[in-house]
Amino acid sequence: MKERYIEGATRMAKLILERRDELKSKDGAALVFPHSSVDGDCVGSACAVASVLRFLGVSAWVSMPEELPDNMSFLGVEDLLFYPTEEFTCGDLLINGKHYDLAFSVDCSEGHRMGDNNCKLFELYDDALDIDHHEVLHLSSDLKWIDPGSSSACEMVWYVLVKISELIGKPVSEVVDVRTAKCLMAGIVTDTGRFTYTNTKPETLEAAGALMDLGGNITEVCYNLFDMKTPEEFSITSAACYEARFCLDGKLALAVVPEQMFRKYNAGKDALAGVAEKLRDVGGVEFSCVLREIDGSIRANLRSKSEFDCSEFAEKYGGGGHKRAAGFRVTGRDINDLAGEIISEASKYL
């Protein structure tokens, strides 16, 4: 294990085992919280943590803020997922006769980024464990392992699971089954752009290689997450790219996809995966933005390849993420008005 990971991975592994013992002593259970606008890293890391807690003898579920996207169905994690409703968002949480005494957040440290119902649930817990690779300056706790230098939450979780296997004296192949290996691989390839982003480090490739040995088929994972498209998805992504605008001397690429466009192509809300990356990769583009209007709200996917800070830009609209990849969601806005505002705001940086 790389030296930079030893302290954090060891501390989190010991905390998980301590909480395991506490929960088993009172037949308690755990909820694992990802962020909203789910992606491969938050789903992969959350499902990996829930799977390992179950391996350790603890009832654990991933509290999902939204339906699992179709392109992640190949992971086969439906039995790990719980979808909270309003009835679960106050008071003592009791599901299937078990008290949920442990909260564990991954790829996200703040409740407001977890969706409305999950936020209310998460904020019931004062001592949640957390593994996150987003920079959160105002949060510091021995219960949290936050490492912005890591490629992904899944990479961090992998090294925690390696340490757990050492502490309990079990081979890592018992702790990390094939499904868990696929989940962790999904998060790593998502947040490294298939190992092409600058956050890819030797320890990232080391983790991916070990996961391949454990059954994390990188070809299967990448095909499902990035390449496979239905005819409807192909049509709407092609239209979004074709109709994209190039502004600010070609430094900004902007795709605006209103709700009627989804209806026209009979496409689902997750049909535009990869469009922001395609637009960012056009020569001369420094910043790309895809706005999609779904169910009365507008979601933005931001990507950059220069000094443009997507995370800082997303924070203007209540979102967040990384310097090269971020997003936000707003309600009560006209999508074309928002597009104009984004052009104006981006002009201050480009």
Q: pLDDT for 197-224, tens place per residue?
A: 889 999 999 999 999 999 999 999 999 9
Asked if 54 and 123 sit in the same domain, the reply is yes
- Other CB atoms within 10 Å distance of the CB of residue 333: 15
Indicate whether 136 and 196 sit together in one domain.
yes
Which amino acid type is present at position 200? T
Instruction: Kindly state the average pLDDT of the residues 107-111.
Output: 90
pLDDT for residue 90 is more than 90: no
Least confident of 1-5, 41-45, 183-187, 311-315: 1-5
Pairwise pLDDT comparison (322 vs 246), residue with the higher score? 246
Domain match, 207 and 267 both:
no
Residues 328/343, Cβ–Cβ less than 8 Å: no
Q: What is the mean pLDDT of the chain?
A: 92
207 and 242 share a domain?
no
Q: Which of 176, 204, 225 is the C-terminal boundary of a domain?
A: 225
Considering only CA atoms, which of 64, 305, 324, 5 is closest in space to residue 191?
Answer: 324
Q: Verify that 220 and 249 share a domain, yes or no.
A: no
Which residues on neighbouring strands pair with residue 60, listed in sequence order? 30
Residue with tokens 């936050």: 146
The answer on 331 and 288 residing in a single domain is yes
Q: Are residues 43 and 55 in the same domain?
A: yes
Number of domains in the chain: 2
Q: Residue 317 maps to which CATH number?
A: 3.10.310.30
CATH number at residue 138: 3.90.1640.10
- pLDDT-derived band at 56 (thresholds 50, 70, 90) equals very high
Q: Mark which of 225, 253, 279 sits at the end of a domain.
A: 225
Query: What is residue 65's predicted lDDT score, i.e. its pLDDT?
Result: 94
Q: Both 251 and 216 in a single domain?
A: no
Answer yes or no: do 255 and 174 share one domain.
Answer: no
- The pair phi, psi for residue 81, each rounded to 5°, is -100, 140
Residue 221 sits in the same domain as residue 237: no
**Domain region containing 196:** 3-225
Residue where a domain stops, chosen among 206, 225, 244: 225
